Amino acid sequence: MTATISPKLRSRPAARSDDLMVWILAWSELVAFAALMMGFVIASWFQPEVFAAGKARLHHDIALANTVVLLVSGWFAALAARSVDLRRQRQALFVSAVGGALFVALKLYEYQVEGASLLAEDSFSQLYVLITGFHLVHVLFGSLVLALMARFPSLENIHLVTTLWHVIDIVWLVMFPVVYLL
């Protein structure tokens, strides 16, 4: 006879063996995005007129909406990570994944609205597409993994995925003011 533990009674492991790998991955992502953002800032110092004109073309309202979407999605990811109720974890992960998908849809809409100006050969447009596109790929992948975790949850994987989802949030929270506002 095997003993089973009710999903509501599961306890968190005291120490996770995958914590080191999570933090190595998180910090490597932060370093990669930091390098891209530093390149963006340095290029803007050398070409202030080009960057001012590029930022003026952007749709700040869409970017602000995307910021709110990611923050809400991150909040639901945090709820999933903290919950010990399997049903609530799955719901929170699903809502978080939907938030990521909404972010992707809004970003693709923003790219469509920007249209030909994104294809300009100026350094602002090239760096904008590189940085936001790289982030977009991370959000898309993260959303798919969140949806997968909603379908097949496990405590260790939820910890891993939600931690990395928060890293994606942090990157956007730095990227938004640097790319759109400053």
Question: pTM for this one?
Answer: 0.83
pLDDT at residue number 78: 93
Based on the structure, what is the number of domains in the chain?
1
pLDDT tens-digit readout, 2-49: 444 444 434 444 445 567 777 888 888 889 899 999 999 999 999 999
Residue 7 lies in a domain: no
Domain annotation covers residue 11:
no
Name the residue range of residue 132's domain.
Answer: 18-181
**Domain of 78: which CATH number?**
1.20.120.80
Tokens of 44: 């803007």
Residue at 171: amino acid letter: V
| Contact by Cβ (8 Å): 16, 159 | yes
Backbone angles phi, psi at 122, to 5 degrees: -85, 160
Does the residue 1 lie in any domain? no
3, part of any domain: no
- Domain for residue 6, yes or no? no
